Structure formats: C-alpha cells, structure tokens
Structure 1
C-alpha cells in the first residue's frame, strides 16, 4: 500500500461491524475496508498477512479496535479481491467482464496478492485482441515485456494523444519511436520494385498493371489503418491477382515475383520489439 493509503486507516466506530462477504467464513472481522464508492467490507488481518504482502501486518493492529482502511478500488473489485484473500476455491475470471478483470489485475499487483497475479496476467493476455491498449498499459506498468510486445502492434492505429493518455511518458515516447520504425519498414517493403517481365512487342506491362500497382501502393503507403498488417502485404498482392490481372500471364508472374521480393524484404528487415524502444 502507498503512504497515502496507509494514512487512510482510522478506527472503526459503529454499532455493528460489516460482515465478511465470503460465504461460510467463520473468521473474526478485525479490519474494515471502505471501497471508493463507499461500501464497507469486513476482512481479517491474519488472512491479509498470509495471502498478501501489501497490507500492514496483523501485529500493528490494536486489539478489539477494528481499523477502517480506505481503498481506491470500487466495491465490485474489492469483493472479488477478498475472495483471493481467503483459502478455498477461487472464482473463474472468465465469467467476468474485462473492466472488472483489469481492475482486479491492478489490485492484486498493488497489494501483492501473489496467488492471483499470474492468473490475472493470463486473463489479460487472453484479452489482448479486443483490449490491446489497456493490456499494453498494464504490461508497461508492471514490466511484462513479452505481453507488451504482443499488445503494441495491435495499437498502431491509435492516435498519439490516445496513447499519451494511457501510458506513462516513457511508454508513450517509446510507442512513438516504435510506430516510426514500423512505418519505415512498411515504406521499405512497398518500395521494393516489381521486376519487369516483357510482354509481346517489348511492352513492360499490360493496361491492367498500373491500376493493380497503384491499388497495392495506395492500400499501404502512409495508411496507418494497415500499419499493423504490413506483413500481410504479399498476401494482399496475391489475393488481388486474379481479379485485376486475370487475363495477363506475364503481369501475374510479375505480381507473384513482387510478392516474393516483398516477403524477402520483410524477413530481412525484422520489425522492432516495442520494449527495445523503452
């Protein structure tokens, strides 16, 4: 807990202590948590000492004088957190919405509830496709480098203003550098020249080639929407061949050669890891 939160510990003055929310719990309530939305939850100094390292030890509490601890978590997160501060089977996080899981993930990191940290991390990893920015912020904050590298490519369409609000200064600056490096790799890939295959009469291409060529370039050049997918450029080219070059075998071969050259360029120029920019 932070010093500010420790200062929010005050004696509980009330006629009746709040009960522990865990079913069938027989332990004496000697700590009272107040959530950010004002709910009171009963807890036990001994289980806090056993299952977490982020709370004051039980020896610091006054006997027969329960303490009220003001926490920054809302009541839903707090009730879920308390389940991980008791022995027994814990709830399946797969049944909870992402905001609740993300809030719990932050709470178990803050209070060092080691039995739940890895479980929450796994759930955050499973959420990366739909909540890439939130997962990136979580990974940067808690130094989960592999997870940060997994999430970062999925955030490349975001504006810098959005990133700046979500990440600390060093993380936002690293993201800006990372995006610039990815954009440079995409520019190098799209600028690979498609080798010419001469047509009958010495022509370099048929009438369909210019439209096909510009379609590919326009789809990727400076297009942030495709920045995270630039490795798919060869597949994009091959998928358009039949529609745009279906009547010209020479231009079809040229497009296939172009796709292969871009693939080799992408393999040669490895994309940076986000964490290499931190």
Structure 2
C-alpha cells in the first residue's frame, strides 16, 4: 500500500477510528458535513480493503450513510446532491427521497372529522391547514420534532371547533410518527440493485 497524504481533520479521523473499533459515536449529534467527511475518508483510505485484517473489528458505516441520507430529505434535490457529493449520489438516494415524499403525503392528509350538519370541514380548518403545510413544506425526518411547534403555533386559529382540533391532533401524531415509517437508506438502495 502506498503512503497517503492525510487531508482529513483530526476530528474526522477520530470518528473514523471510533467506527473501526466499534466505539459508535452518537451520530445524531454529528453535523452532516462531518458525516460526509467520515464517509469520504473511508473511501480515500479504502477501508473495505482492510476487511481481512480487521475481521475482528469490521467497519460498518451504514448508520452514517443512513443518517446522512435522512438529513438531505428536507432540502431540494440539487442541494442534496451537492451536499452528498458525486460519490455518494445515486438513483438509490433519489428513490429514498421519494419514499419520504410518499410517507409525508400520507401523513399530511389527515382523515376528515365530520362536523354537525354533515360538513367535512369548516372554514377554520382551511386556514389552519394552509398555514401548517406552508411551514412544514421542507421538513425532513430529522426535523419532525420541531413540527410540534408548528402545529401548536396555529392551533388558536381553530378557535372552539372541537372537530377541527381532533383532526389537527390526529395530523400532528401522524406527522410525528412518519420517521418511524422511513426505511433505512441501505434497504432502499438494496432494492434498486439488480
């Protein structure tokens, strides 16, 4: 193996070594740029090639890739592809984002709670729905917890309509549960590989 010039930061290499020796850091607290740096370093140093030597300490970066993919969902495709870089962009990443779009489409279509007189919704609902969906438009799975504040921010616009408040609560629960329905990036990619 030829000598490599080390371009990675100390923090990047420290995280890479933690993965090599199964000292899994909390990836939720690591920035996207740092996750990408760790994945790039694994590519640069051909960590896969060490499989035989490190059989006792196999390196599995799948959780890093899954976390990185989750963090790109709330952005537009061009920004996500730039953030992931060409090496980590693939048809799988596009399909992964599509899964999230379908999950959110379902979550953001709360079932109707019939009002007195057979009305499906009152005027209060339309104002509330429009305001909430506008704020939630670019949320990704990692930002779902912030969604609770969005639902709460507009709740007063429902005034005393208990039917709309029940529907809003159902919607908030479905929105918060959406990340749990998201498959891992690895599982989506494996579905696309023939």
- Per the normalisation by structure 1, the TM-score is 0.47
Moved runs in structure 1, 4+ residues, more than 6 A?
Answer: none
After superposition, the Cα gap between the structure-2 partners of 1:209 and 1:72, relative to the gap in structure 1 and judged at 3 Å, is same
**Structure 1: 5+ residue runs without aligned partners?**
6-70, 78-98, 109-114
How many residues are treated as equivalent by the alignment? 167
Deviation of the 1:129 alpha carbon? 3.2
* Matching of residues 109-128 of structure 1 within 5 Å: 117-118=20-21, 122=24, 125-126=25-26, 128=28
1:256 to 166, 169, 176: 169
SS in 2 for 1:159: helix
SS in 1 for 2:111: coil
Q: Is the 8 A contact 2:132 2:151 kept in 1?
A: no
**8 Å Cα contact 1:183/1:227 also seen in 2:** no
- Higher RCO (Cα < 8 Å, 6 or more apart): 2
Q: Match for residue 146 of structure 1?
A: 63
Structural mapping, 1:18-57, within 5 Å: none
Checking the alignment, whether the CA contact within 8 Å between 1:237 and 1:255 is kept in structure 2 is: no
Which residue number in structure 1 is paired with residue 55 of structure 2?
A: none
Matched, 1:72 2:5: yes
Give the TM-score of the pair, scaled to structure 2.
0.63
CA distances 1:107-142 after superposition (whole Å, capped 9, x unpaired): x6xxxxxx99427x64xx346534224314534745
Which structure carries more helix by proportion?
A: 2
More strand by share: 1
Question: Which of 161, 166, 189 in structure 1 is aligned with 2:82?
Answer: 161
CA distance in structure 1 between the partners assigned to 2:131 and 2:170 by the alignment: 17
